[in-house]
Every structure is written in structure tokens, then in C-alpha cells.
Amino acid sequence: MGLSRRFLNLIVEDRIPVFKSLRCIDLRRQHFFNNNATPQHPNGNGSESEERPQDATSWSPAADAGGQKNRQDAAGAAALKIERIRLPNPSFSFLASALGYRWTTNCFPLADRKVLCADQSGRAFLFDADTRDVSTMPDFHRPKCVPFSLFVPSADLEDRDDGGGSIFVMESIPAPELRRNGRPSHQFEAFVYGKPTLTSSSKSWQCQLLPPPPFVCDPNMYCNDNFPSISSYTVVGYVPELNLWFGLSAKDWHLAAADLSSMDSQPQLVGVWKEFNPPEEWRVTQEPHLVNLGSGRFVIVRFFHIWNQTDDFSYEIKEDYFVVLTGVEVVPRGHDGNDNGCDNGDGNGGNGKVELRMNTHKSRRHASYGSDGTIRTVF
């Protein structure tokens, strides 16, 4: 199966922290997938260094490494096994205006290479890397602290060609709003592309307040034995070839597939996979990102930190922050991603439906706080 996207987009914090830039990795030049998908070990773990698939369990230091210093050295050596990636030049750079010695810019991806940016005052603009156009956008009704977003393309093909649709933005940790009874909330807003009024002759972006989710209005209702429990997942995209939705599980951040076709019952979890096992000394610094490239292919982005003593008799500490980007592919069990039969691998399925397996392809490492900046967001 091929890719439906050409670019992997990154928001990078430059060496001067208040500056950010959009970088676009051309997936035709920088390959995260093998031409011939080689099945990994049945546990589904694997990665790649220097063009050769490699079981990620080999990255972990030996259990008898002989002391903390040796384990730290082994953890650092494991990171160096992953081939390094160098970022392309910025497509666009930007800086938020200062507000009380704060410079904050949140970035929300739309379709293709479009990104909505908003500063700590709620002022927003839209940038299209394909056309290099910058468009002003309506301001947020209220600035967001730690928001997340979901873009829904327009059902109108003409609007979709223009990049139209709706982008929903919500606080990731919303404050309870008891007894709002469906009234709009400043914690949940949407930018909607369309005609402002029935008599308008042209379409534009409008910012609208929306009612918060039910659990914000009445959290007690969703925390008792009479209401079925809901497993939390970060859903990033629908894969029509598999008729499933994919995301990252909130508990352990593994790739997960779910069947959301039934509106009358709990979502059915079809499969959960882990693409590799990092050494224990690799400390996670933030939640991972998952990018849907189409046709069952994804890039999983994980953020790590390791530290080492320079020697056994010194208190000097060397710290390294880095990002690991891994290409993975989910296919029906018995296929290798190139329509070839294959019976090896990790299959997950249930209820008589098709079983799935995950192929781990190539991993790339990027060192943070270097000459080409620090990756903050991938989409």
C-alpha cells in the first residue's frame, strides 16, 4: 500500500525558544518505510538502523550491565544505533507577541500542509505551506491554556478543495462547568468555514462557541457504577481500507484500532500494538504523537530524555533529549503491506472479524536543542 500524503509536518522550536517554524519532511526523499515490508518478530516490536530492520528489544541494556554507570552508557549507545535525521529548512517562521513576559504559540493542523496558529492572547492566523499564503483568522473568544484540536474536512467537495471544513479546539484538561445545560462554553470553540449568513455571497472562517462535552457539565454521572466505563483514546484518523479508527491508548500510549461503527454500544477494540521497547533509562518527556499517512501507514513520534555521569568519580551530568520517529503499517494478517501473503507477525482481532498485524519499518532519531531546533509537534 502506498502513501496518500507526501509530507510529514513538524512544528520546531528554534534555538531561540520564542521562535517557531514549520518544517515539512518530503516522504519521497526521507523514507520511513521499507520497499518490501519485512515482518518483524512475532511480539510486534522492531525498528531500523542503517536500513536494516532491527528488533527494538536489542536496544535495551543487558540486565547484568554492572552498575548504574554502565546502564546509562548502554542507554546512550542504544539511542545512537538509530539513524539520525536532519530536518529540512523552515517553510515558515513565526513569533508570538509578548504578553507579560510570555511568548506562547499553539499550532493546530488542518488538511495537507495547512496549520492554524494562535498566540497567548487568542489571536490567530492560517498558513498554507503549499501556496505560502498567510490568512488572518477570527480571534478565539478566550485564549486556551493546553488545547488540543480535531479537523473535520467539509462534506462539500468545493469547500474541501479550498481547504475548508471545521476545526474543533478544546482545553485538554477542562474545568467542570456544572449545570450549564448545553450552553456554549469558552473551553470549546470551533472555526467553521462557510457563509456567515444565508444572504452572504462568499464564504469565510467563523469562530463559534460550542457546548462542552457532557462529562464537563456533570462529571458525577460518568463516574458511577450505573454508567458504563469508557476507555480513553486519542483518535487521529479513519482508515477506510480497514474500516477502523486508529489512535493512541491513553493509559500506555500504544497504537490501537477500534470499531466505532455502532452508536448503540461501547467501541470495540480490535487491536493494540507496541512498536518497540525503549531501555528503562529512556525517560518519556511528553505524550507521543501519531500521524496518519493513509492506507494503514502511520508515523509514531516519541520524546525521550537520558542522562549520564561523565565518570564514576564526578558529579557532572550529561543530558540528552531526543525524538524517535517510527514508521509502522497495519495490515490484515496474512499480508505484508504489498499485497503479498505472509503468515508471520502479531495478529489481533476478535468477534470473527479480520485479524490485523502491525509491521514496524524504519526509525529515525532527532537530537533536541541542536543547531536545527527542537521538534515540538508532528502532524
pLDDT digits (tens, 9 = 90+) for 210-249: 998 877 877 666 555 554 444 455 567 788 889 898 999 8
- Alpha-carbon radius of gyration of the chain: 22
Q: Quick one: pLDDT at residue 45? A: 41
In a domain, 106, yes or no: yes
The verdict on residue 1 lying in a domain is: no
* Domain-located, residue 184: yes
* pLDDT of amino acid 227: 46
Residue at 2 is within a domain: no
Q: How far apart are CA 65 and CA 192, in angstroms?
A: 56
Range of the domain at 176: 7-378
Task: Spell out where 145-265 has E strands.
Answer: 147-153, 165-171, 185-194, 204-210, 233-239, 244-249, 255-259
- The pLDDT score that the predictor gives to residue 376 is 93
The pLDDT of residue 288 is: 93
Residue 290 falls inside a structural domain: yes
Provide the domain count of the chain.
1
Contact of 108 with 149, CB cutoff 8 Å: yes
The reply to whether 190 falls in a domain is yes
Q: Which residues of the chain have pLDDT under 50?
A: 37, 39-58, 61-65, 227-231, 341-352
DSSP secondary structure string for all residues of 4-26: S-SEEEEEEE-SSTTEEEEEEEE
The predicted pLDDT at position 67 comes to 61
Q: How far apart are CA 338 and CA 222, in angstroms?
A: 44
- Identify the pLDDT of residue 234: 59
Q: All 3 cell numbers of residue 300?
A: 509514531
Give me the pLDDT at residue 309, please: 65
- The pTM of this model reads 0.78
Residue 292 resides in a domain: yes
In this structure, the dihedral spanned by the alpha carbons of residues 297, 169, 162 and 379, taken in order and rounded to 10 degrees, is -30
Contacts of 356 (CB under 8 A, 6+ apart): 242, 257, 270, 271, 330, 331, 332, 333, 347, 348, 349
Identify the pLDDT of residue 51.
37
Q: 145 and 126 in contact (C-beta within 8 Å)? A: no
Distance (Å, rounded) from C-alpha 203 to C-alpha 221?
A: 40
80 in a structural domain: yes
